[in-house]
Amino acid sequence: MKNLTAYLTLLLAVAFAAAPFITSPFSGFEADQLPIPQVDPPVQPAGYAFAIWGVIYAWLIISALYGALNRPDAPDWDDARWPLNVSLAVGVPWLAIANASAVWATVTIVIMAIGAIIALARAPLDDRWLFQAPVGLYAGWLTAASFVSLATTFAGYGIGLGSFGWALVGIAGALTVAFIVLSRRQTALGYLAAVVWALVGIVVANGIAGWIVSLAAAIGIAILLLRFGPVAVRSIRPGFS
């Protein structure tokens, strides 16, 4: 009997991608969701950056379909499927959660990120473009999104720092997690690309007016690309290990 986990992954990937079509869109927390409304928080990337979700949805479905048809019983795929399934299962209702509660949206997106990162850490060495790459892209974006949500929520509740202070903390936190993840899986080009994409979006959103936040994000981009870019790019070559 084939491993049903592979088909569960496919079902969850499809449901996750379908959620935006049946749930109200989410473009940031509404004013009544936070005691101190956060309108265009500086930690949030420019709107165009969220188009990455289209690539993530499609690639995760392709990955899950390939896995169900060609790797349903592969132990290395299965080890990574379980944490991925947890992340996707939480992600299916996430838009509805985010539209209802900033706090629960933050809690759940952190859970999603943790599951995705564990799945990336367990990703099979073979079929890199059909598992590691899409899951890495997903995990990288969730890493950035988690700290956007954390920073926005803390600022919205007036905890400690203002929106600009929490933006800097959020960028530093995302960079720290990204540095740890990439140190352990240096060939995860998708993960690197997603985090850099998010940081570029922050630079675009803040521009010169919010130059301190832009500078922090730009420094983060430089650090990640200089430290991990060469290895990640070389890993594209066949046979690289």
Q: Per residue in 132-182, pLDDT tens?
A: 999 999 999 999 999 999 999 999 999 988 899 999 999 999 999 999 999
SS3 letters across the chain: CCCHHHHHHHHHHHHHHHHHHHCCCCCCCCHHHCCCCCCCCCCCCCHHHHHHHHHHHHHHHHHHHHHHHHCCCCHHHHHHHHHHHHHHHHHCCHHHHHHHCHHHHHHHHHHHHHHHHHHHHCCCCCCHHHCHHHHHHHHHHHHHHHHHHHHHHHHHCCCCCCHHHHHHHHHHHHHHHHHHHHHHCCCCHHHHHHHHHHHHHHHHHHCCCCHHHHHHHHHHHHHHHHHHHHHHHHCCCCCCC
* pLDDT tens-place string over residues 67-97: 999 999 899 999 999 999 999 999 999 999 9
The more confident residue out of 97 and 24 is 97
Rounded mean pLDDT, 50-54: 94
The radius of gyration computed from the CA coordinates of the chain, to the nearest angstrom, equals: 18
pLDDT score for 50? 93
Residue 237's pLDDT band, with cuts at 50, 70 and 90, is low
Does the global pTM surpass 0.85?
yes
Within 8 A by CB and 6+ apart from 21, the residues are none
pLDDT score for 2: 56
Residues 6+ positions from 199 with CB-CB distance below 8 Å:
45, 144, 171, 174, 217, 218, 220, 221, 224
Summarised one tens digit per residue, pLDDT across range 101-125 is 999 999 999 999 999 999 999 999 8
